[in-house]
Amino acid sequence: MVASIAMSFTSAAPHAEQYQVFDQTPAAVAVFRGPEHCFAYVNEAYARLFPGRELLGRNLADVQPEAVQQGFSALLDGVYQTGTPFVGTELPLAIRQADGSSRAAFFTFTYQAYRERGEIVGVSVFAFDVSDQVHGRRARDLEQQRLRQLFMEAPAAICILHGPNLVFELVNPRYQAIFRGRPLEGRPLLEALPEIVDTVVAATMRRVYESGESHEEAEMLIPLVREDGVTEERYFNYIQQARRNEDGHVDGVLVFAFEVTEQVRARKASEAATQTAQALAAEIIATNGQLTRTNIDLDNFIYTASHDLRAPISNLEGLLHVLQGELPAPTPGSEVPAILGMMQDAVDRFTRTIVHLTDLSKLQKEHEQPASEVLLRPILEDARADLAPLVAETGATIDLDVDAVTTVTFTAKNLRSVAYNLLGNALKYRDPARPPHVRVRARLEGDAVALEFQDNGLGLDLSRERGLFGMFRRYHTHVEGSGIGLYMVKRMLENAGGRIEVRSQVGEGSTFTVYFQR
């Protein structure tokens, strides 16, 4: 249209009336006259391009220096001289504004020479300001660029599949990385990844394409073939979305996927570990239950056995006495008295053992009783008082240096037993060369109370570790005792979460240290 109007225009002389046609047109129209390109006519649209400037009657170079700078003046010269029209498409012109700023404008225009009497006398300009178009397109291009960058750099695996065959149109690097070494772009989905055929993934993809509705999956197991041909189980969270064209019809599918294989594997490993731990815990609980029942059975057995053994042994004792009465007076050299004495000794030992066994089983039954905070000194004093006869007989001294600790967590009865046992041992296993001296000391050690019984008695050769604290173990045979005392002491302490230790030097004495929980 520009060309045809311009053509009809050139054939006639430029008269003011003719210009009226262009006054209101949205196209910018101007007419130059002469080699200096003097503005002979300017329509409103053109004038608006250069607000605040007087154009009519002025030369281009004077009123539009930017046109000269940016090459437009040269173009006009060319057209004026050669008569060859010039068509410019979207050429830039930076127009200086009244406030000094510069507007970047774009024009699609023609320069056409016109003649009078066969001679070129000027150039007409027919221009459209296409700045908006160009800017718009540039903005769109920039947007596209940004989008593409986003797409490529996204932390998700993204691909676009096109058409009913779901051809890979675009694949971002992360998506490609999942299928390292396998060509995707330009190939149909089922051809590029044949292992997906007949899977849920392919089925839902098709459904999305056909229905336009998105589909989401979490932790979908997708077996994929690695570069080396090995099939791996991999897990993905993904969404398949329909892509629509301008008409709103579905023409492709977008896939956004996150690989979660590591998380799923870790979670499964953790679940497996938890299950194993739970199974072990159940086993331990079962075993504990068994052990507890066994212990109860044992304790019941000990109690019952010792109980049932009392009657016959008591009978034996009685019979022994009767026998002594019935036998005639012993002749000199007779071994009968010695034999009767040995029988009585044996019966006594038997009885003592039964008593200790009974005590032991009672101890186990009492084990369930809760311990409380008991005052230390009074109980030790009681134990010492219980031993008064032995203390007097041996000339012993027992010092209680226990004020550093006021209370311990233990049953009063058991604490008295422990003290009685250890003090008694110290006196029983005294060195005949010197009067026994026992020093009891209490101190705090971390979260425990340490109670030390130090004596100056015979001492023990601990290098012969034969289980000092075992049942029926005796290191010295000349002292009355069935060897169960220390065993009981140890059991009592360990039942309450404590322990007992011994240090000793033969000929100098022993130190037994018991530990209680505070």
Partner 1 sequence: MPKLKSILLVDDDPTTNYLNKKVLDRLGVTEQVLVALNGEEALQILTTECTDASRARPALIFLDINMPQMDGFEFLDAFGKLPQEQRQAVVIVMLTTSVHASDLERLKSLPIKALVNKPLTPAKVEEILTAHFSAP
Footprint on this chain of partner 1 (rule: CB under 8 A): 338-339, 342, 345-346, 464, 466, 474-477
Residue 464 CB, shortest distance to partner 1, in Å, is 8
Distance CA 383, CA 347 (A): 29
Considering beta carbons, is residue 17 or 465 the nearer one to partner 1?
Answer: 465
Q: Which two tokens stand for residue 166?
A: 């779901």
The CB-of-474 to partner 1 minimum distance in angstroms stands at 6
Nearer to partner 1, 352 or 474 (CB): 474
SS3 168: strand
In the complex with partner 1, the residue whose CB is nearer, 89 or 477, is 477
Least distance to partner 1 from the beta carbon of 338, Å? 8
Closest CA to 429 of 510, 495, 320: 510
**Tokens standing for 229?**
């041909």
Name residues whose C-beta falls within 8 Å of residue 300's C-beta, 6 or more positions apart in sequence: 361
Cα 231 from Cα 194, distance rounded (Å): 13
CA dist 385 and 380 (Å) reads 9
Picking from 130, 120, 128, the residue whose alpha carbon sits closest to that of residue 32 is 120
Please tell me what DSSP assigns to residue 205.
Answer: H
Rank residues 83 and 470 by Cβ distance to partner 1 and give the closer one: 470
To partner 1, the closest distance from the beta carbon of 429 in angstroms equals 12
Cβ of residue 462: shortest distance to partner 1, in angstroms? 14
- Laid out side by side, the sheet with 231-244 consists of 167-171, 157-162, 250-259, 231-244, 215-225
Measured from the CB atom, the residue of 139 and 338 that comes closer to partner 1 is 338
Q: Which one, 331 or 463, has the nearer CB to partner 1?
A: 463
Q: For partner 1, which is the closer residue by CB, 140 or 476?
A: 476
- In angstroms, give the least distance from the CB of 390 to partner 1: 22
Nearer Cβ to partner 1, position 75 or 462?
462
Type of residue found at 87: V
Q: How far is the CB of 442 from partner 1 (least distance, A)?
A: 32
Task: Tell me how far CA of residue 157 lies from CA of 172, 256, 258, 502, in angstroms.
Answer: 7, 6, 6, 71
Burial class (CB in 10 A: 0-12, 13-18, 19+), 62: middle
Give the chain's end-to-end CA distance (angstroms, integer).
107
What crossing angle do the helices spanning 412-428 and 376-386 adopt, rounded to 10°? 50
Query: Smallest gap, in angstroms, from Cβ of residue 479 to partner 1?
Result: 11
